[in-house]
Structure 1
Amino acid sequence: MTGVSHQPLPPSVDPDVIAAFRDAATATISDNLDRLPGIVGLRPFHRGGKLVGTALTVRVRAGDNLAIHQALNVARAGDVLVIDGGGDTTRALVGDIMKAIAESRGAVGFVIDGAIRDADAFLASDFPCYARAAIHRGPYKQGPGAINVPVSVGGWVVEPGDVVVGDLDGVVSFPPAQAGALIEAVRAQEAREAEVLQMIREGRYDGRYGKVTKA
């Protein structure tokens, strides 16, 4: 068995930041991150529920979940396990048992560049899980792996301790230091879009975004 390297846990994201992004749409967040590529190619497997938490990052070799088991041993309340499985979908990296362990630790979701199994259990649950696919084949448990290192998930680099937000449109992440300016920009866009929708309802929208015709 090859070992798993562990780096120190980053600080948990401030609860005020978590609360601020609880009702922020990933599409609006993405718009205000310059519409950079973000995490792509993953889809939600859960029934419902918003994902907001601190990135606990894990890198594994294709089809091997030893490092994920070890990451669950150090997971804290509010952590999101962000797993770089190299996009491999030939073996599942997590299933119902690991979901139950994650929930018991207070973790708030999985973001997996790889596959899961026991999809029915995820689909019946509000525990957020984003992955590429579901498959019956189980994982190896030999390593190697790494915990709390930068990972590439769906073409996007996620750093340990990043803020992770997910909804039905997908998943975005960003550094906690960026949260204050970002939420201001998100709220401003939400206000503009609400105004446009109101203009449409009142028949005052002239086809130019944000422009008002005379009543």
Structure 2
Amino acid sequence: MSNIGCRIYTKIQRPAPELIQRFEGLPVANIGDNMGRLYCVDTHIKSVNGRPMLGTAYTLHLPSGDNLLLHKAIELAQPGDVLVISAGGSERAYCGELMMMCARNRKLGGFAIDGYIRDIDEASQMDFPVFARGVIPQGPYKNGPGEINVPIAFGGQVVFPGDIVVGDQDGMIFVRPSEAEEVLEKAWKQHAKEDNLHAQYDQGATPPSFDPEMREKTLAGLNCELIEDAWQ
């Protein structure tokens, strides 16, 4: 019989490390553009130290102000796993410097917290990716309950254990492994196109940044009026 609300699933389907590594260096913006511009995480969840994040989602569903199962997850997770935490409430931090150091030393891929942290001075200098909604000094309780490796809501998105996690200073996104090949092909193609435009702009050229034919067709569909005069 399942104890709903206090469960730990120890196994997840992890994507191949080679698949994850193909996302290295690919901006979150390019990935999001090629996922319908629907799947980027809430902008309030930001990197606290600028360290890029890439790994496998190891999900946690925690109650407000309690990090009991976060300690357990640090022990159970494998190198490269990113602890992705759905945390209710803003009155307490879910971790600080020492837990980050412990996770770093276990070679985890980072912390992503839809909630709050503390020890921001230390976290901002740490060589360990941390994304969070904000900072508060007040610490957590350790009473439970909570769940590990279940689907969670995170920053307006649904995250499944084993999803590919990508984060940079623009924000975060999650990719289902079954959809990764398609996303990679499209996103790297866009990235190459933008690199080409970047090089042209550096040389002073002004190629169109948006397909002129598509632009004019859209404006025509809106019955946009072109007035050859100054506004009065």
Pair in the same fold by TM > 0.5: yes
Displacement after TM superposition at 1:173 (Å) = 0.4
Provide the rounded CA distance (Å) in 2 between the counterparts of 1:31 and 1:141: 40
3-state DSSP of counterpart to 1:114: strand
- The one-letter amino acid of 1:74's match is L
Provide the rounded CA distance (Å) in 2 between the counterparts of 1:188 and 1:3: 43
Q: Is 1:44 the counterpart of 2:18 in the alignment?
A: no
Match of 1:198 in 2: 199
Match of 2:99 in 1: 98
- The one-letter amino acid of 1:141's match is K
Provide the rounded CA distance (Å) in 2 between the counterparts of 1:117 and 1:201: 41
Displacement after TM superposition at 1:3 (Å) = 7.7
Whether the 8 Å CA contact 1:54–1:163 is kept in 2: the answer is yes
Residues 18 and 190 of structure 1: CA distance in aligned 2, closer, same or farther (over 3 Å): same
Q: Is 1:31 the counterpart of 2:29 in the alignment?
A: no
Match of 1:55 in 2: 57
1:106-125 map, 5 Å: 106-125=107-126
Provide the rounded CA distance (Å) in 2 between the counterparts of 1:110 and 1:181: 27
Provide the rounded CA distance (Å) in 2 between the counterparts of 1:29 and 1:153: 18
* Deviation by residue 1:24-46 (Cα, 9 ceiling, x = unmatched): 00010110111004211201112
Whether the 8 Å CA contact 1:13–1:53 is kept in 2: the answer is no
3-state DSSP of counterpart to 2:123: helix
* Deviation by residue 1:134-185 (Cα, 9 ceiling, x = unmatched): 1110101111100000111111111000000000001100111111111110
Structure 1, unpaired ranges of 5+: none
Match of 2:85 in 1: 83
Structure 2, unpaired ranges of 5+: 213-232
Residues 54 and 82 of structure 1: CA distance in aligned 2, closer, same or farther (over 3 Å): same
RMSD: 1.8
3-state DSSP of counterpart to 2:173: strand
- The one-letter amino acid of 2:23's match is F
- The answer to which of 6-15 and 98-107 deviates more is 6-15
Task: Kindly tell me the number of residue pairs found equivalent between the two proteins.
Answer: 208
3-state DSSP of counterpart to 1:34: coil
3-state DSSP of counterpart to 2:94: strand
